[in-house]
Structure 1
């Protein structure tokens, strides 16, 4: 089903939310892929990396839990970031078995670049909306996410 072809705005309330989410995710992936360079981190690893910009000093276990990743996969992704000098991992002084993950200065700069791309895409998709509509949309999406997690 192609939402853009098969439906009209008058029928918007008859389209399942899933289809809108699917179309938005597809649009986001296309946009980001077109702007990322070959040497950039893979698109599927970007969410974990960007989260570090907002929640620095997380443990590997906390990151794995937040993203529903295995600890092994999380360690592999973090090793990739570390090899690129985007993060540092240091032993937690309170629990030596844990590693605290922090962005390096290069990592912060790169995260800000990725966030600027996200902002460009967001501006593109909400450009036909008023500020009030955007606020209402984000409030509704927030409530939906919270409800989905129950």
Structure 2
């Protein structure tokens, strides 16, 4: 990937965080898009499945809000995941209108595959960093993400 000319080591502090994030997202999408081209799940749907891996008893509504998509899109996507055997949706015992979404064992296997691809990308982009630098980077990114809750 060819970086824009603004990315020079002598001016790294003057580059906006947004531009760094944009380049990282582009790199990730390009890398994963190529790998998922012949896979059962497109790049646009993979984040839903990965999010379910790290959430217990997530509701359909929570996914809709989290990904800022329509209720219809979420329902359609979850139906596709159900058809593939990756998730189950169950009624919430305290509110029958709520649907709780959880991964099946097949869904866990699929997310293992996706996470392995994600980890490979992360290892590649962070290969020039020490363990301490990676830890500092993650700490700083965590702080930035926590600030987004205030919007």
Match of 2:106 in 1: 106
1:39, distance to aligned residue in structure 2 (A): 4.1
Question: Within the alignment, does 1:145 sit opposite 2:126 as a pair?
Answer: no
- Cα distance in 2 for partners of 1:50, 1:7 equals 31
Match of 2:95 in 1: 95
Question: Within the alignment, does 1:42 sit opposite 2:42 as a pair?
Answer: yes
Distance 1:39-1:134 versus aligned 2 partners, 3 A rule? closer
1:17, distance to aligned residue in structure 2 (A): 1.1
Kept after mapping to 1: 8 A contact 2:56/2:102: yes
For structure 2, the residue ranges without an aligned partner over 5 or more in a row are none
1:148, distance to aligned residue in structure 2 (A): 2.3
- For the aligned residue pairs, the C-alpha RMSD in angstroms reads 1.5
TM-score normalised according to structure 1 size:
0.92
- Cα distance in 1 for partners of 2:72, 2:120 equals 33
Distance 1:120-1:4 versus aligned 2 partners, 3 A rule? same
Kept after mapping to 2: 8 A contact 1:49/1:111: yes
For structure 1, the residue ranges without an aligned partner over 5 or more in a row are none
Work out the number of aligned pairs and report it: 149
Match of 2:122 in 1: 122
For 1:36-75, list aligned pairs within 5 A.
36-75=36-75
